[in-house]
A and B are shown apart, each in its own frame.
Chain A
Amino acid sequence: MSRNKLYALLSTACAAGYIWIIITFYQTNALGNDPTVCLIKSITGVPCPSCGSTRSVLSIFSGHFTEALYWNPLGLVIVLILLIAPFWIAFDLVTRNDSLLRFYNQAELILKKRWVAIPAIILILVNWIWNIMKGL
């Protein structure tokens, strides 16, 4: 993937993420229930591995870390990406560098290795089973 394409994609995703968080924050306050957009949950009624991550992110931003881990541990990863990515992109654009692209390519290579990929898949599956048992 080229540098500009990756940066455009990431900034769009971060912007969409922040807008989504603000929308759900006000909607949850007003209605008391969460809106769902998850295709899997809408069709089958069974939560997907990342269901609950919006609630998790909202909990982290309001300071309830254990509650966030209960909703979905993947929320932590999302918060880290949301907080770091905009600054990294801005830094790269200002200094005309491509450090984020190099980091992204390196991370992709590492994740494709078997001894990283298999534990990651198992963790996601365990999280999925936990999500189903919690009945998110």
Chain B
Amino acid sequence: MEAQKVDMFIMSNAKYFESYQINGIRERLIALDDSKWAMISSVQLKDPTVSLIVSILAGSLGIDRFLIGDTGLGIGKLLTCGGLGIWAIIDWFLIMGATREKNMQKIQQLLY
């Protein structure tokens, strides 16, 4: 794919991924065929900031975990009042990284 197109994608989507993953994504995208561009540019990524807000407001109910697709963990949090309140607080710090990991998994299915 053209480097210009790829850089545009990286610039507008950098916040959805961990910083150490961005170089790898860029290299894969450049090596990728042009026909996949439509799929890559239309993939739905979750915003880490939104999941942080949800985690602070409704983390005890596990809704942050449901939001990023970790249904099992969400049920775990829901059943235990947010893991006795401890897990809910820990997740305020983990949820942004977890969201970025989920985004990476999603785009990896298209890249490889």
Interface string of A22-59 (1 = CB under 8 A from B): 00000000000000011111100000111101000000
Q: Is B52 an interface residue (CB 8 A)?
A: no
Q: Is A90 an interface residue (CB 8 A)?
A: no
Grouping DSSP codes into helix (H, G, I), strand (E, B) and loop, the A interface class, with mixed when no group exceeds half, is: helix
Contact, CB under 8 Å: B71 / A16: no
Contact, CB under 8 Å: A111 / B75: yes
Residue of B nearest to A47 (CB): B81
Q: Is A124 an interface residue (CB 8 A)?
A: yes
Q: Is A114 an interface residue (CB 8 A)?
A: no
Within 8 A of A (CB), among B65-94: 69-73, 75-76, 78-86, 88-89
Q: How many A-B residue pairs have CB under 8 A?
A: 57
Query: For chain B, which range describes its interface: under 10, 10 to 19, 20 to 34, or 35 or more residues?
Result: 20 to 34
Chain B hits for A9, CB < 8 A = 73
Chain A hits for B79, CB < 8 A = 50, 53, 74, 77-78, 81
Give, as a whole number of angstroms, the nearest-CB distance from B28 to chain A.
Answer: 22
Bound complex: CA A57 to CA B58 (Å): 24
Q: Given A37-B81, A53-B80, 16 more contacts at CB 8 Å?
A: A1-B72, A13-B83, A16-B83, A16-B84, A17-B80, A20-B84, A37-B86, A38-B85, A39-B59, A41-B81, A48-B60, A48-B81, A50-B78, A53-B79, A107-B72, A108-B72
